[in-house]
Amino acid sequence: MVAVGYDDQTHVELGELLKQRGMEVPRTKKERVAALEEADASTSFMSRAESALPSWASVPVVAAVVMLVVAGSVTALLFGDSILGFFSDDEFDGDLIDFDPVQARAFTEGLLELGHPVWEGRMSGTAEEHATAQSNLDNFTSFGLAAEDNSYAVPMFEIQDEPQLRICLPGSIPLFSGIAPCSLADADRQEIDVIHREEFVLQGYSGSADYQFQDNIPVVDLGNATDEGAWENASASIGLVFGQGGVSSNTQLFLKAQQSDLYGLIIVTWDSTGGENPPNNCKLPGEQGRCVPFFKSVDTSQFESLPPGIPFLMVDNEVGQLIRDQVVNGEGRIAMNIQVDNQGERDVKAPCGILPGKTDELIIFGAHHDTVYNAAGAVDDTAGTATVLELARQFANMAESKGEPYYTLKFCTWGGEEEGLHGSKAFVAAYMGQLQDNLRLYINLDMNHVDIDLENRGNGLWMIGNDVTDMNYIQQIVDRFEEENPMGLADKYVIHTNTLDGEQGSNNAMPYNSDHAPFVYDLQQEEGDEPGRALLCYGSGSWEYHTYRDTMDRFNGDSLAVSGIIYGSYAAWLSWG
């Protein structure tokens, strides 16, 4: 007798039943129900077969009969038209979808207009990020999609005033004059204002402090941060770390600063190779070799509590050397006024446009709509958000002619990515059961962009997935793309494909560095759960990453069409093919 009531049991309960029977545990609820029902049906068939045979028929005889019956059935299936393809590699027989790079550029320019009036960014939890999410919702609605407005309270910092960093070189002060160096009475002093965003940038979850020259806060040179003795002697000082060449992550540095009771922490970005292989931020046009500072965040989950009173900055190599020469090793003084609230939570948005399908099974396109606070973020990742918007528009148009898709399609954009994937992680947690049961594929578009200088910065795009079947189809679509060469794109760009299907943390695993990661790994809530299936795309040449130079000056709209057409064609074929 076939068991009943599996549909009423939870995802976890079904997993326990499968484990009790010694069976493999599929990822989705639907697959778990099917496996249990198939097992029940097989048990029932064996019982009926045994009862129908004469008394001389032993269990081995019954088994032999069953094997003969099953073998005959399989033979029929193998030569049936409807199942032949099931045991072989299916071929992609769909069409390449349309994608309008001009419209994608217009979406990008529209979103950049919503940036901070001074800093240009659309930082998570701010009015600028919220306006961006609302703009995306409005676009989804205008395309004819259903709108889903998601908002999540997550750990987030807030910059409350214009950050200031200054250096003072004392003047010639007569002995026994009683004049304090760098005071107003020090008439010959030289004060240097370090330019925010161009010459220094706050780091994620920096704390606050207001230090003036008269406070005479010492600065300690921590080198590349590997000398434990230097950290021990840096208490009640501002630590100066020269980045690269052994420097650990921002998270580890900020933890060390907290443990060592530092008054502040400054990272210097510089070229430790001496010009042989400079980092990208040290070779930007027009900067004459200056290493432009950039934003990095910390992993807030590693802190019992974030230090509220430790400012955390990155400065360029010239400012860093000035601090080392004139403050650490000279009579200079440093002042900073950093007002950041790094305690508590702020709301980040995760808007979605929905194209309902015949089933609840899901294909989700996603990109993050937030940017670092210090940059317009034309490439990272307004380009990806514009790609999602253009795909949403194309799929809405396709639905008018093709009708209802098989899969329900969602087009989502995430806040909170730059500070720790907060938006996508919260979305996955909120919809965990639905995603475990129904997610067919998540497609992430983060910096799926190639710089305008193809000759000097490269022309490659990397398409990566964690499922062999998906990637086989993607390779076929890439081949079709290169054959049909829409808009001449195949002549301009080199497309690389790769399958990363290893376990989390292995050399062959999907990286946990963008919004695909929660959809892959966070769905694994218990032992035996399969990871989610995902595709992602990375472009090349974005040397301005996380700097104030990430503007429309380097924007290349037609490069977005490559991933848009290839991944869009796959999703359309799955949905209507």
Which of 289, 324, 341 is the C-terminal boundary of a domain? 341
Which of 299, 323, 341 is the C-terminal boundary of a domain? 341
* Any domain includes 489: yes
- Does residue 473 share a domain with residue 446? yes
Question: What tokens appear for 544 in the block?
Answer: 């301005």
Residue 519: per-residue pLDDT: 98
Residue 468: per-residue pLDDT: 96
Burial label for 449, CB within 10 Å (0-12, 13-18, 19+), is buried
Q: Give residues with Cβ within 8 angstroms of 166, minimum separation 6.
A: 191, 192, 193, 194, 213, 334, 335, 336
- Does residue 183 share a domain with residue 133? no
Distance separating alpha carbons of residues 186 and 178, to the nearest angstrom:
10
- Does residue 493 share a domain with residue 441? yes
Question: What tokens appear for 180 in the block?
Answer: 């304090």
* Any domain includes 92: no
- Among left, alpha and beta (phi > 0; psi -120 to 50; other), residue 5 is left
Task: Using alpha carbons, list the distances in angstroms from residue 88 to 91, 126, 402, 573.
Answer: 9, 51, 28, 18
- Phi/psi of residue 228, nearest 5 degrees: -65, -35
Q: Is the peptide bond before 381 cis (omega within 30 degrees of 0)?
A: yes
Tens digit of pLDDT for each residue in 312-334?
A: 999 999 999 999 999 999 999 99
Closest CA to 416 of 122, 66, 81: 122
SS3 304: coil
- Does residue 175 share a domain with residue 134? no
Establish how many alpha carbons lie within 13 A of residue 263's alpha carbon, considering only the half-sphere containing its beta carbon.
Answer: 20
* Any domain includes 96: no
Q: What is the dihedral of CA 311, 314, 317, 323, to 10 degrees?
A: 0
* Any domain includes 93: no
Closest CA to 355 of 402, 430, 405, 413: 405
- Does residue 106 share a domain with residue 26? no
Q: Give residues with Cβ within 8 angstroms of 436, minimum separation 6.
A: 11, 27, 28, 29, 523, 525, 529
Write down the pTM of the prediction: 0.85
The DSSP string of 197-208 is: TTTEEEPTT---
- Does residue 475 share a domain with residue 335? no
Closest CA to 110 of 554, 559, 556, 552: 552
* Any domain includes 270: yes
CB distance 70 to 46 below 8 Å: no
CB distance 375 to 546 below 8 Å: yes
* Any domain includes 261: yes
* Any domain includes 394: yes
Is the sign of the CA dihedral 468, 474, 477, 479 positive or negative?
A: negative
Distance separating alpha carbons of residues 191 and 199, to the nearest angstrom:
15
Strand 352-355 to 146-148 pairing: antiparallel
Tens digit of pLDDT for each residue in 180-231?
A: 999 999 999 999 999 999 999 999 999 999 999 999 999 999 999 999 999 9
- Phi/psi of residue 79, nearest 5 degrees: -100, 10
Establish how many alpha carbons lie within 13 A of residue 150's alpha carbon, considering only the half-sphere containing its beta carbon.
Answer: 26
- Does residue 315 share a domain with residue 247? yes
Distance separating alpha carbons of residues 43 and 155, to the nearest angstrom:
52
- Does residue 224 share a domain with residue 141? no
- Does residue 492 share a domain with residue 427? yes
Task: Using alpha carbons, list the distances in angstroms from residue 67 to 52, 70, 94, 459.
Answer: 16, 5, 39, 56
Q: How many helices (H) and strands (E) does the chain have?
A: 16, 21
Which of 341, 367, 383 is the C-terminal boundary of a domain? 341
Strand 158-159 to 340-341 pairing: antiparallel
Here the CATH number for the domain that contains residue 429 is 3.40.630.10
The residue assigned the tokens 């995430």 is 414
- Does residue 315 share a domain with residue 231? yes
Closest CA to 553 of 453, 486, 404: 453
Domain that holds residue 42: 6-87
Residue 27: per-residue pLDDT: 58
- Does residue 434 share a domain with residue 306? no
Question: What tokens appear for 527 in the block?
Answer: 């032992």
Burial label for 441, CB within 10 Å (0-12, 13-18, 19+), is buried
* Any domain includes 280: yes
- Does residue 71 share a domain with residue 54? yes
Q: Where are the alpha helices (DSSP H) in 1-90?
A: 11-20, 29-52, 59-78
Q: What's the N-to-C CA distance of the chain in angstroms?
A: 37
Is the sign of the CA dihedral 163, 298, 560, 445 positive or negative?
A: negative
Domain count, the chain: 3
What type of residue sits at position 9? Q
- Residue ranges in the chain whose pLDDT is less than 70: 1-4, 10-12, 25-29, 41-89, 244-247
